[in-house]
Structure 1
């Protein structure tokens, strides 16, 4: 066997093993890209809002924003993606306040002004449930709409599965988290290494309320095929395809707003 083939036979498995170990130990760093904010940071948006703080069972502080409108139809409980913070995501609130809904969005642990670190999927879900229970003090459950985008679709789906909101809206959802991890890291044994599951494909068919999906055909982060497959799982699931839409620009398309008008009318 030529020397270079011997080197490849030795080096390639070593590289894959090293990547696997890194994925297992440091996967939170590969999944979440939080941007911290100073506690003194003052948010500025074009619609009225108030800043809230929720305390978790283990004493961490979750920063949240509540955008309120007059004669609200209900509230959109918003779960954002895996990067940034409320300074960015807060700009999305107008997509819902303009349609007569309050919006409650929060930063995950370690994002923005929120304290702590994300350690597992259960922690993310427990935090979401804690805030949901707080919302029930101010809104009837029939007036709560759960919204998730990208990473947040897994949290939103689990939350809707365990509760009874009016409906569920998912933007750029993955089939499940293993599926999207294989898309980005196809040569690693993700089924063994991955701590996070977010089984949208298992939970969505068990929901009785309407489920609406938005996905762009040019999404390079979560492939469009993910939503095509999810739509086939239940008659309650309706997919709105944004032609030429990518991962972060769907609300720049007229069709997106046309369909949001239909859903939220």
Structure 2
């Protein structure tokens, strides 16, 4: 056997071994939860209540409800793929301090939540929390906010309900697109179990949509978020480009700070509409 042939054989062996590992461990690559003990006590610098919702298959999902005396509305927040409510609770107090109530859940296996994640379970669980929220607030006062992984979930829920608006921070067009960006030499379409087809869900969204994305995002390429924006069929849409922004720091940029209040407050002004349909830079 020639040396070249041996190299080719070993290259193929290694390639398929890596492909098999990617297929087997994709759940752990995509979802990176932090478990919390059942007796863990949350501490945040804003009034809140901790609660659980039970799923139809008997799992318990943990959540935090930040409250204000006179809320402008409520934000139902779907977080990213890492951590737990111990982290995401601190992040979402940003919105609570702007006089918006906030409800943020931990996905199955995250924090104190039980159960095993599947894509279908994520959508069902998200709808469970939407139903819960709509019993406490009028539906036209609900803002859906998705960040990173949570953008696909938020878009799915917006596509089957009638919230006031949908805000997506660092969204992807599809999970397949992001995975192909990271692993261009592998047939990710054939092994990927989690599709998160935001580009399909967005076609049925009828509320106002705002996208925030940084040009230096090294996790979800800016181009993916822009493709999602361009696929939105309604005119009441807006994409705010954060020049130099990466995946986890958009809140530190002036462009985010100076626009987020207006985007949120359209919910509390019945006669005010977001009409811009351009990509802002």
TM interval, shorter chain, is over 0.9
CA drift of 1:99 comes to 2.1
Aligned Cα root-mean-square deviation (Å): 1.3
2:16 aligns with 17
For residues 262 and 127 of structure 1, the distance between their equivalents in structure 2, rounded to whole angstroms, comes to 30
> Can you list the C-alpha shifts for 1:219-244, whole angstroms capped at 9, x where unaligned?
10001111221222233331111111
Aligned to 2:259, the other structure's residue is in SS state: helix
Do residues 115 (structure 1) and 114 (structure 2) align?
yes
CA drift of 1:11 comes to 1.6
* Equivalence map 1:244-263=2 (5 Å): 244-263=244-263
2:183 aligns with 185
* Equivalence map 1:26-65=2 (5 Å): 26-65=25-64
1:152 aligns with 150
**Given that residues 99 and 264 in structure 1 are in contact (C-alpha distance below 8 angstroms), is that contact kept between their aligned partners in structure 2?**
no
Q: Which one of the candidate residues 161, 164, 173 is aligned to 1:163?
A: 161
Do residues 208 (structure 1) and 206 (structure 2) align?
yes
CA drift of 1:114 comes to 0.8
TM-score, normalising length: structure 2? 0.90
1:264 aligns with 264
**Given that residues 34 and 83 in structure 1 are in contact (C-alpha distance below 8 angstroms), is that contact kept between their aligned partners in structure 2?**
yes
**Given that residues 159 and 203 in structure 2 are in contact (C-alpha distance below 8 angstroms), is that contact kept between their aligned partners in structure 1?**
no
Aligned residues, how many? Answer: 263
TM-score, normalising length: structure 1? 0.95
For residues 58 and 70 of structure 1, the distance between their equivalents in structure 2, rounded to whole angstroms, comes to 35
Aligned to 1:112, the other structure's residue is in SS state: coil
2:71 aligns with 72
**Given that residues 160 and 205 in structure 2 are in contact (C-alpha distance below 8 angstroms), is that contact kept between their aligned partners in structure 1?**
no
CA drift of 1:98 comes to 2.3
Q: Give the unaligned 5+ runs of structure 2.
A: 266-281
**Given that residues 68 and 101 in structure 1 are in contact (C-alpha distance below 8 angstroms), is that contact kept between their aligned partners in structure 2?**
yes
> Can you list the C-alpha shifts for 1:44-67, whole angstroms capped at 9, x where unaligned?
111111101111111111110000
CA drift of 1:24 comes to 2.4
